[in-house]
Structure 1
Amino acid sequence: MFENLLTHTDNRIHHIIINRAGKMNALNRNTLAELHTAVYDALNSNQVGGIIITGAGEKAFVAGADIAEFASFDSTKGEQLARHGHRTVFNMIENSSKPIIAAINGFALGGGLELALACHIRVASNNAKMGLPEVSLGLIPGYGGTQRLTRLVGRGRALEMILTGDMISAEDAHAYGLVNHVTAPEELLPAAEAIMNRILSRAPLALTAAIEAVNASTQNNIDGFETEIEKFARSFDTEDFKEGVAAFLEKRKPNFQGK
């Protein structure tokens, strides 16, 4: 189905593997278009509860964008490139109604780190290297890196990473709060799947509401507290709430239906 992606679903977890290992899984125009389709389809599938995104091979998650594609761009084309990427891929992932985990295996640079930043949770192998090296090309990050990195690690750390363009280790990324967990390479996907399975044992509608409420905290034109109150209140009208309370009182595991 896809030229640059491998996808499969196991036990409600949809795996999206960026499959350009010969190009260090760099994001070209076609790969971004396929990512949009793959994520969109997963979000609209009743068989999918959550998504894990990773890269093919052991060297790279995504080692950046395909620089040759935009080497001749002017400011108009550059703006179109950034706006289209934000709308169709990066913002869609961040605002996904289903949880998305990035399993970072190797280099996550430039657009690759920005892809991981858009995901809700990040797990990295201990050989991963992360950075936003755009200033070395005379650019700045254009797929949300200046905003999402700052939210995660703070202004000082973000500016140091962006202004130097230097890579950081997985251990430093964990210390900065950039990644949630660091594992051995062979444990990366099992660790991501274990986290996702814990998430998917919870009420689906509550997961969506929680993502929306947390995302509202970063948007200047939205009162995050009001969003939380609204989502909290609506939860009381769901069948999942009734099932969750009944299961708690009856001391059994809940059987959520996403209703």
Structure 2
Amino acid sequence: MDYARYRTLAISRRGPDDSVLDIQMRAANGKLPTADHEGHRELAEIWRDVGADDSVRCAVLRGEGQGFSGGGDLALVEDMAADFEVRSRVWKEARDLVYNVVNCDKPIVSAIHGPAVGAGLVAGLLADIPVAAKTARIVDGHTRLGVAAGDHAAIVWPLLCGLAKAKYHLLLCEPVSGEEAERIGLVALAVDDDQLLPRAYAIADRLAQGSQSAIRWTKYSLNNWLRQAGPAFDTSLALEFMGFAGPDVREGVASLRERRAPRFAGP
């Protein structure tokens, strides 16, 4: 498998017999990984390669720099708002990202630290075992941007933390600390910051050493809960991308660039 072709992901091997694939989202700005045109596509595609690589038994997803992920690059968002062809392409990538993680037969562990937003958060929370640093800051920022909470929100948040908590955090873009995320069931574990990677790697090593058929078939069965939520996810994603053609997203982007609260004027 040619992992060297990935530009925005640093990929290496570790664990028993090099069977754990370590996937690090690169921070091009030296601070947070953000998904530009290429990064968004690569984050959707990597899970097909993980599934097709017979030498891989488990994957670990983590972020470089000060946090797990910083969301979509604002230039990408502006291109989506201005260009139907770009919007259509990114919609397909966003759909594939969710379903590729769900359908990847290898177990995935995520190690979430610092801010966690956007496309990286999609894969982070859909991972089979999400592990968060207690100080992590998880935010679904869609409504702050002026679009519906699509991505992974409708497919997994209500299942993990219940509908009431999901509505509170998704409608208000209310941040969730790693410690609180564990309490409400949004992540599997919250650990001290210095224990995040050691704990995530230890879990990945155990998965790599276990019965692969048993682990993969258990994942497949459990993920039928997510597949049943597919229609809700498809609707949310369609509504999100409808929003990218509307006026509110332009105000959302402008407010982020100008570091101020948005002033949405629509009904």
TM range (shorter): 0.7 to 0.9
Cα drift, residue 21 of structure 1 = 5.0
Residue 161 of structure 1 aligns to a residue whose secondary structure is helix
Cα drift, residue 138 of structure 1 = 0.7
Question: Is the deviation greater in 165-174 or in 14-23?
Answer: 14-23
Q: How many pairs does the alignment contain?
A: 220
Question: Contact conserved, 1:126 with 1:182, CA < 8 A, in 2?
Answer: yes
Q: Residues 37 and 137 from structure 1, CA distance in 2 versus in 1: closer, same or farther, beyond 3 angstroms?
A: closer
Cα drift, residue 113 of structure 1 = 2.1
Partners of 2:50 and 2:119 lie apart in 1 by 22
Q: Which runs of 5+ in 1 are unaligned?
A: 223-259
Of 92, 95, 102, which aligns to 1:83?
A: 92
Q: Residues 157 and 41 from structure 1, CA distance in 2 versus in 1: closer, same or farther, beyond 3 angstroms?
A: same
Letter paired with 1:13: V
- Percent identity, please: 24
Letter paired with 1:64: G
Partners of 1:148 and 1:115 lie apart in 2 by 11
Residue 140 of structure 1 aligns to a residue whose secondary structure is coil
Residue 60 of structure 1 aligns to a residue whose secondary structure is coil
Cα drift, residue 75 of structure 1 = 9.0
What TM-score, normalized to structure 1?
A: 0.78
Partners of 1:157 and 1:113 lie apart in 2 by 17
Partners of 2:51 and 2:60 lie apart in 1 by 12
Of 111, 120, 123, which aligns to 2:128?
A: 120
The structure with more radius of gyration: 1
Please give the root-mean-square deviation of Cα atoms over the aligned residues, in Å. 2.1
Q: Residues 158 and 71 from structure 1, CA distance in 2 versus in 1: closer, same or farther, beyond 3 angstroms?
A: same
Question: Contact conserved, 2:48 with 2:104, CA < 8 A, in 1?
Answer: no
Letter paired with 1:3: R
Letter paired with 1:7: I
Cα distance per residue 1:131-189 (max 9 Å; x no partner):
11111111123322222111111111010001111211111111110111112222111
What TM-score, normalized to structure 2?
A: 0.76
Question: Contact conserved, 1:4 with 1:18, CA < 8 A, in 2?
Answer: yes
Tell me which of the two structures has the higher relative contact order, counting C-alpha pairs closer than 8 angstroms and 6 or more residues apart: 2
What residue is the counterpart of 2:78 in the other structure?
71
What residue is the counterpart of 1:96 in the other structure?
104
Q: Residues 197 and 182 from structure 1, CA distance in 2 versus in 1: closer, same or farther, beyond 3 angstroms?
A: same
Cα drift, residue 80 of structure 1 = 4.2
Cα distance per residue 1:1-47 (max 9 Å; x no partner):
23211111113110000012525101122112223443332322222
Question: Contact conserved, 1:111 with 1:141, CA < 8 A, in 2?
Answer: no
What residue is the counterpart of 1:158 in the other structure?
166
What residue is the counterpart of 1:9 in the other structure?
13
Cα distance per residue 1:99-129 (max 9 Å; x no partner):
0011102111133322212211100112210
